[in-house]
A and B are shown apart, each in its own frame.
Chain A
Amino acid sequence: DQQVKQNSPSLSVQEGRISILNCDYTNSMFDYFLWYKKYPAEGPTFLISISSIKDKNEDGRFTVFLNKSAKHLSLHIVPSQPGDSAVYFCAARSGTYKYIFGTGTRLKVLA
């Protein structure tokens, strides 16, 4: 049973435009959410996080939105750059230590 779902396996966006990556979850007890970026042949890199008590967190070009009623999380990248091309994973924290990861969305930013 996939508790964290990334329904779009891939996404292509033109350079300079907005990239929106989506993540849905089923467990209302999740209290902390994260996004990771992964380049080929490297491990995931922590990008940005949000606590369940907030609905938005911004860090430079990256903004994460949380809609608790819809159990939906999204990552906005504005403006998108070719270096943003990577696989993006969302993750949700369950309890004190356990993170449930989505299957990832491959973002391709076209120059």
Chain B
Amino acid sequence: DGGITQSPKYLFRKEGQNVTLSCEQNLNHDAMYWYRQDPGQGLRLIYYSQIVNDFQKGDIAEGYSVSREKKESFPLTVTSAQKNPTAFYLCASSISLNQPQHFGDGTRLSIL
């Protein structure tokens, strides 16, 4: 079954630690995205990647980093520079940049 897998579903981090959220897709999509959702707000774009080995900052990239070494994988690292990392993180992919996005089930990150 094709889809997007995000792991883990829940993640806890101590202050000052970096943490990496996994996102894998087997839809053969070129484009991938990371969003953040906070209560009462719409999804906000953190980073996106049009193709392997290429990625661009979204609206709220500060304190985050990504890599796109393989078409299937787009991991997001939340660094200690991110001042308010507690949120629900969604990964998405699409055939190309301007097509509807398919989402994973999300990872909820909490700070201990």
Contacts and interface: CB of A to CB of B under 8 A. Distances in A.
B42 A101 contact: yes
Query: Which DSSP category, helix, strand, loop or mixed, fits chain B's interface?
Result: loop
Contacts of A2: 42
Interface residues of A, number: 24
A89 B42 contact: yes
A42 interface: yes
Interface stretch (B12-20, B61-69, B70-78, B99-107): B99-107
Interface range for B: 20 to 34
Interface string A30-49: 00101010000111111001
Contacts of A93: 98
B100 A34 contact: yes
Contact of B97 (A44, A46, A97): A97
Contacts of B45: 98-99
Interface string A81-96: 0000000010101001
16 contacts: A2-B42, A34-B100, A41-B9, A43-B104, A43-B105, A43-B106, A46-B100, A46-B101, A46-B102, A49-B100, A89-B42, A97-B97, A99-B101, A101-B35, A101-B42, A102-B42
